[in-house]
Amino acid sequence: MPFDADAPVASDLFAKPALPAVRCEPLARVWSKALRDGVQVSHSQLSMVLLMGGVWIAMTLAICGWVGQAFFTQTQPGKNLFSAFWESNASWELAALPLFIWMGEILFRTRLSEDMFDGLRPWLNRVPGRLMHTTILGCGIFGSVSGSSAATCATISKVALPELMKRGYDEKIALGSLATAGTLGILIPPSITMVVYAVAADASIIRIFLAGFLPGFLLMALFSGYIIWWSLRNPDKVPAADPPSTFMEKIKQSGNLIPCGALIVFVCWVLIAGYATATECAAYGVVGSLALALWSRSLTWENFWEGLMGTTRTSCMIMFILAGAAFLTKTMAFTGIPRELADWVNSMQLSPMALIGVLTIVYLILGTALDGISMIVLTSAVVLPMIQKAGFDLIWFGIFIVLLVEIAEVTPPVGFNLFVLQNMTGKDSNTIAKAAIPFFMCLVVCIVLITVFPQIVTYLPDLVMGADK
């Protein structure tokens, strides 16, 4: 029920002699003070407490949203809960998520994923880190098809993680690279997040897409660079290299890459050629992977059924979390916290670089409680005029904010990629977050580089479409 400002405060109720709840009295005083002063209870702190208590991730997000609406707004949390659950999952675009996950399950449960790693092994044999780089390459390539961070993370981890563990690679680095490299799905076009920003900023979608390529390649290089640096410092944690092979042997071994390579090229081609949307591409990917599995005679009724059930479990988990996050987002919108933060930044009258620094901190804070699209939608009305007034290019700022959204995907307590990997590996999300810290810093370095050298973002759009006037 909506909160009535004229109703007696909690402390008055607890003060009545008929309610001898001595233990609850301090809590009542705290809540009454919060209500009177209009203090917003930190959703991040509450969610951390619930997660540490073993509450389901989706339920944690929903509870935080309910508390915020029930005590700090005059809305009806019950109705908003049902509407948020429906709106978050009744989306045609989301249909691509379970389909891509199913494609990954098929590749994982047949010989196709193993063949792919066998084909890459001779080419990466002499590179420090060796097959660990497949997580970066796979996420980069698949991200260009899916446009989704969750789908990229779930699909590549399903394929790559078991193979890396079987070959004796370090689990911590594998988890950290998968959690962060999965975010390439929203940086390398096409990207739903980029489309949302382009609409909010009234900018060219094509220019935003073109602007994402060079930062995407830069980020992949930073991730791989860290893997190389770590491998040189920890040679004992990297499996021994295979005996050197001739160029013709490498070419022969690369024949194992043809099935998966053909599948990726096919899915990319139907998308680029305009024959299918991203969602339809996912369906083509499933059909193609099933056809390849049949052709290789590795598809059985047993692994088909296991793959289908695994997809169902993973998809339900992700959809449930999305629903809880959507309800929390509604709460944040009703309380007006994102807009108030943006208004506060605007009132400070900062210099351009100081403005970017403060906005970075604000978006990092928002990323602990909101998904990326909500961050953009809820703040764009205030932030974009500030950016224009400071003289920044809106296309550049679009890539800047997408990188901040990527950081939000691996930031506890609501880092979505952390939850995806937690479900798929059984590892605690905090453990995965700690493993992702070095790659998190690579994201920070990428943000610094595009800020110092904005041409990294603007060069390709200006080259292809001319300078934006």
Query: What's the token pair of residue 302?
Result: 């047993």
The yes-or-no verdict on residue 441 having pLDDT over 70 is yes
Which pLDDT does position 55 carry in this prediction? Answer: 59
Q: Specify the higher pLDDT residue, 3 or 274.
A: 274
Confidence band for 219, pLDDT divided at 50, 70 and 90:
very high
Confidence of residue 341 (pLDDT cuts 50, 70, 90): low
Residue 339, Cβ neighbours under 10 Å: how many? 16
Query: Can you say whether the dihedral through the CA atoms of 375, 376, 380, 383 is positive or negative?
Result: positive
Residues 6+ apart with CB under 8 A from 340: none
Question: Does residue 426 come out as left (phi exceeding 0), alpha (psi in the -120 to 50 range) or beta?
Answer: left
The residue with greater pLDDT, 94 or 153, is 153
* DSSP code for 190: S
pLDDT in tens, 127-170: 888 888 888 887 887 776 666 677 778 778 877 888 788 888 88
Mean pLDDT, range 267-277, rounded to an integer: 74
**Higher local confidence (pLDDT), 21 or 248:** 248
Instruction: Name the nearest CA neighbour of 383 among 416, 350, 335, 334.
Output: 350
Predicted model pTM: 0.68
Residue 28: per-residue pLDDT: 40
DSSP class per residue in 28-89: HHHHHHHHHHTPPPPHHHHHHHHHHTT--HHHHHHHHHHHHHHHH-SS-HHHHHHHHHHHHH
Type of residue numbered 305: W
φ/ψ of residue 61, rounded to 5: -65, -45
Better-predicted residue by pLDDT, 440 or 423? 440
What are the pLDDT digits (tens) for 23-51? 333 434 443 344 333 434 455 556 556 55
Inter-helix orientation angle 372-389/301-335, to 10° = 50
Distance CA 8, CA 19 (A): 15
Residue 457: pLDDT over 60: yes
CA distances from residue 280 to 100, 276, 452 in whole angstroms, order as listed: 10, 5, 39
pLDDT, tens only, 194-210: 777 887 777 877 788 88
How far does Cα 446 stand from its chain's mean position? 17
Give me the mean pLDDT over the 276-299 stretch: 80
Residue 2 binned pLDDT confidence (cut-offs 50, 70, 90)? very low
Task: Give me 80's structure tokens.
Answer: 């908003």
Q: Which residues contact 66 (CB under 8 A, 6 or more apart)?
A: 77, 81, 327, 331
55: exposed, middle or buried (Cβ count in 10 Å: 0-12, 13-18, 19+): middle
- Report pLDDT for 450: 92
Which residues, at least 6 apart from 170, have a Cβ–Cβ distance to it below 8 Å? 132, 234, 237, 238
Q: What's the confidence (pLDDT) of residue 145?
A: 62
What 269-274 contacts at long range (C-beta under 8 Å, 24+ apart), as own/partner pairs, is 271/145, 271/190
Weakest-pLDDT range from 9-13, 125-129, 291-295, 309-313: 9-13
Q: Are 398 and 201 in contact (CB under 8 A)?
A: yes
User: Is residue 399 very low, low, confident or very high in pLDDT (cuts 50, 70, 90)?
Assistant: very high
Most confident of 129-133, 166-170, 309-313, 393-397: 393-397
Q: Residue type for 239, please?
A: P
pLDDT(54) > 70: no
Structure confidence at residue 464 as a pLDDT band (50, 70, 90): confident
Whether the Cβ atoms of residue 178 and residue 149 lie closer than 8 Å to each other: no
Q: How far apart are the first and last CA of the chain?
A: 52
Q: What percent of the chain has pLDDT over 90?
A: 8
In the 8-state DSSP scheme, what is residue 245?
-
DSSP 91: -
Query: Could you tell me which of 60, 73, 53, 139 has the C-alpha nearest to residue 368?
Result: 60
Choice between 92 and 246, residue whose per-residue pLDDT is larger: 246
Q: Are 183 and 363 in contact (CB under 8 A)?
A: no
Task: Give the other-Cβ count within 10 Å of 357's Cβ.
Answer: 13
Give 264 or 396, the one with higher predicted confidence: 396
- Provide the pLDDT confidence category of residue 413 given band limits of 50, 70 and 90: low
Is 172 within 8 Å of 425 (Cβ atoms)? no
Residue 381, pLDDT score: 65
Q: How many CB atoms lie within 10 A of CB 234?
A: 12
CA atoms within 13 Å, Cβ hemisphere of 158? 26
- Taking the C-alpha atoms of residue 82 and residue 52, their distance in angstroms, rounded to an integer, is 26
Q: What is the arithmetic mean of pLDDT over 348-377?
A: 77
Highest mean pLDDT among 60-69, 113-122, 193-202, 206-215: 206-215
What 8-state DSSP symbol labels residue 170? Answer: -
Q: How does residue 224 score in pLDDT terms, banded at 50, 70 and 90?
A: very high
Question: Which pLDDT value is given to residue 453?
Answer: 92
Residue type, 209: F
Mean pLDDT of the chain, nearest integer: 75
